Amino acid sequence: MENPVIRPRRLRRTPALRRLVAETAVAPRQLILPVFVREGITEPQAISSMPGVYQHTRDSLRKVVSEAAHLGLGGVMLFGIPEQKDAVGSGAVDPAGILNVAIADVAAEVGDALPVMADLCIDEFTDHGHCGVLAADGTVDNDATLEVYAEMARAQAAAGVHLVGTSGMMDGQVAVARTALDGAGHTDVSILAYSTKYASAFYGPFREAVGSSLIGDRRTYQQDPANAREGVREALLDVEQGADIVMVKPALGFLDVVRQVRDAVDVPVAAYNISGEYSMVEAAAANGWIDREAAIVETLTSIHRAGADVILTYWAAEAVRLLHDR
């Protein structure tokens, strides 16, 4: 056999050569750190199913976001965990509620140096754990929920949020949030729409992280994991309604959908590297089954390669060093 003239391995011979021709590179500015802040605690509480992730106090939250700004991350996404819940999630719209005061804390800490994002959904605040208000028959009332979302958007904007994360998967939620924000004079507040959010089995650790009260599932409003075209349709609808960024959640099981959404829209696309994806890597690494740091870099690179401009990940802060050392 003649020696091959075409030798792709030439460009893989050294780390420097591999860096030279790398097609995909994740930058810190593309990473969003999700952060949990819990009412009524005096020190951070470890989340057992998510090693290295904590429910923060208001004070420890300030330190986390200050570090995130110093690292050059793309932003933080805040989730609030209240002491008290009720059927309509009233803590979500209360200016003194944990999420809204946390937004104000963070905005005061970092100003415009770090985009401050907040979850716009009431599941953490309802005693039934659903993302919306329940009708008399126990189903989630889409339109009644939209009224709450509008009030929540106004409350978060008043607290100083830069982007609201519409995550409840109610039909029309982006349009309602945009109208509410504009009507209250918050025309500069952006919307990161959880447009393509699937009813996934990989949310389990997140339920612990936010102290979820959910009984049952969310399959009547979150998307069927079997459907990709529906996910693209949802993203297009959200762009039409005023979304500034659209997101696919989860990321790893839906990289094909990330690519299809990226090809379909002309706004930035985000993907959420969710709790179950995080915990699987951490558990496998703790058992010595995989190289943890290499797996983190590979995971984030694959999400970006699929088309995500922005990645929400619990590894965001650590990934800055890993990506630099790569």
Catalytically active residues are: 197, 249
Instruction: Tell me whether strands 45-46 and 54-56 are parallel, antiparallel or unpaired.
Output: antiparallel
Could you tell me the maximum CA-CA distance found in the chain, to the nearest angstrom?
77
Of 156, 151, 88, 154, the C-alpha closest to 125 is 88
Give dist(CA 248, CA 121) in Å, integer.
16
Report d(CA 131, CA 266) in Å as an integer: 28
Classified as helix, coil or strand, 3 is coil
> What count of residues does the chain have?
326
Q: Name 262's Cβ contacts closer than 8 Å, sequence gap at least 6.
A: 269, 306, 307, 308, 309
159: helix, coil or strand? helix
Q: β-pairing, 75-81 with 54-56? A: unpaired
CA dihedral of 278, 267, 151, 124, whole degrees rounded to 10: -10
Backbone phi, then psi, for 52, in 5-degree steps?
90, -5
